[in-house]
Amino acid sequence: MAFLTLSIFILSGLLLTTADPTVAHPGNAVEACASINKSLGSPIVQTSSGPEYNFTVNNAWNVQNTLFKPACIVFPRQASHVQTAMKAIFKAKVHYAVQAGSHTGMKGWNNVQDGILIMFSHMQSLSYDAPSHSVTFEPGIHWGNATAALSQFGVAVVGGRVGDVGTGLLLGGGISFLSPSQGYAADNFLSLDVVLVDGTLVTATASNKYSDLFKVLKGGANRFGIVTKYTVRAVDVGTANETPFFGGHIIYNSSYAATLSKATAKYTRETTDSKAALLFTITTTLINGVAQQVCVLFLFYHGTALPQSIFGDFLTVPAITKELSPLSWTQILPAQDPPDFVSSNRGFVQHFSASAVVPQDNLVLDALSHFQNFSSTFLHNGTQSGMNTTSFVLTPILTTQIAAGHAKGGNVMVSPSLKGPYLNVQRSEQFDAGITDIPQFVQDGMNLYIKQVPPSPGLPLFINECDKGQNVYKTYGEFELLKSTYKKYDPTRFNMLFTEGPIGL
């Protein structure tokens, strides 16, 4: 069903970024492309339209990012190719962008006009090392393919919640259905190969001389360099033939939106079992001029059944449909998304905004009320907003997830003193086919919506699900470390000036 697959799609962790409005002279990019091409040659460097160039430009999930035409696209096969490209970009002072899974929701965040795009579609290797119980992979792989490749070993990595999403979400923190027991996806880094803005390649770990860089990459998004290799902890999940999980999804009538939102807040407050995972979504879609809303709950348990003591408040609410069964990890995160899932989400303008609140009923109901008001205002036949879908997503961040992150060295997002729990509140909007920009009066409404549901004091916003105007870094528990480390590794602020990324550094 399209509404169900849309609900899944908007949940993935994506790497979100935005930049200073500095414009480099397009001629510099042409010269830089020629320099890179001289070193690397074709087809690694493509400077004119061709099948791979066109597919890369046109395949971005947010249709706004299909409108940019880079001066050239670099398709590296190894880290040294990225070094060569960045050295030329840095020397020529040109705009650039990086693309891995192509699912960035923000305009200009994974493509660039008259600049240089680095695309990782040829760097998709992955390997499992049993003695260290770790997985090493390159940035071009997508989570579904990673899951399929690792299933023979009975392990997985803490990655995204949608198979077609790529590795960019890791640098924004990343949330998985494994996160309640394992922490944010970035909490599971062991080693990162990073190309800095000047083309220098370094390996960062928690204990070497680049430990500060390692720490800030756990949530710092794309501001600190380009990661060309990840080594992360493996998690035991069973093979594709084993079903150690139980769960699925439940669809409810929208009349239960408030009841289910309160139940999600209670679940977040009270759940201390790290084997439980839950996600609640409300999606409103304009169909033939009529707004239709549905609630979808995704719930999983690493065990043989859903414990009533944990999930009872949800299981007793009357449902339209329930699809609950024993599951393998590859069924929870399949290698290939359903055809209607992909087709129903590409080719449209997409938008996100984020909040984070303590799991109190009044705060969750207030956020829900503002979402309903926003949807009623803009999903109306007479507004000419061009919007066809709005979604409200609650992701519980349990005390077990926060504790797991602290135990693994912490990340730059969550304050060392924060014990939790809290709720990530994501809002998203999708627009009609043919619309290529968000009308200003709609953006004004979105900005008001963001102000109406501010984050609770001390809670970090989730950068993978934010609006470009939100100063996410300022909400981070390690904001001062973030700023000082950025200054150390990019003293000329090249990244802030020449690529899109989060504001505030």
Quick one: 382 exposed, middle or buried, by C-beta within 10 A (0-12, 13-18, 19+)?
A: exposed
**Rounded-to-integer distance, Cα 217 and Cα 222, Å:** 8
| Cβ atoms of residues 489 and 481 within 8 Å | no
Supply 496's token pair.
């802030």
pLDDT per residue as tens, the chain (505 positions)? 333 334 434 333 333 333 443 444 556 999 999 999 999 999 999 998 889 999 999 999 999 999 999 999 999 999 999 999 999 999 999 999 999 988 888 888 899 999 999 999 999 999 999 999 999 999 999 999 999 999 999 999 999 888 888 898 999 999 999 999 999 999 999 999 999 999 999 999 999 999 999 999 999 999 999 999 999 999 999 999 999 999 999 999 999 999 999 999 999 999 999 999 999 999 999 988 889 999 999 999 999 999 999 999 999 999 999 999 999 999 999 876 554 444 457 889 999 999 999 999 999 999 999 999 999 999 976 678 999 999 999 999 999 999 999 999 999 999 999 999 999 999 999 999 999 999 999 999 999 999 999 999 999 999 999 999 999 999 999 999 999 999 999 999 999 999 998 999 9
| Measured distance CA(76)–CA(80) in Å, rounded | 8
Tokens of 280: 């609640």
Instruction: Give residue 134's identity as a one-letter amino acid code.
Output: S
- Mention every residue, 6+ apart, whose C-beta is less than 8 A from residue 315: 250, 306, 308
Does the predicted TM-score (pTM) go above 0.95?
Answer: no
Nearest to 68 by CA among 81, 79, 57: 57
- Of 164, 172, 82, 66, nearest in space to 120 by CA: 82
Tokens of 435: 């619309």
Edge to edge, what strands does the sheet with 276-287 contain? 321-327, 245-253, 290-301, 276-287, 387-397, 422-431, 350-357
| Structural domains present in the chain | 2-119 (3.30.43.10), 126-239+480-498 (3.30.465.10), 245-472 (3.40.462.20)
CB atoms within 10 A of CB 185: 30
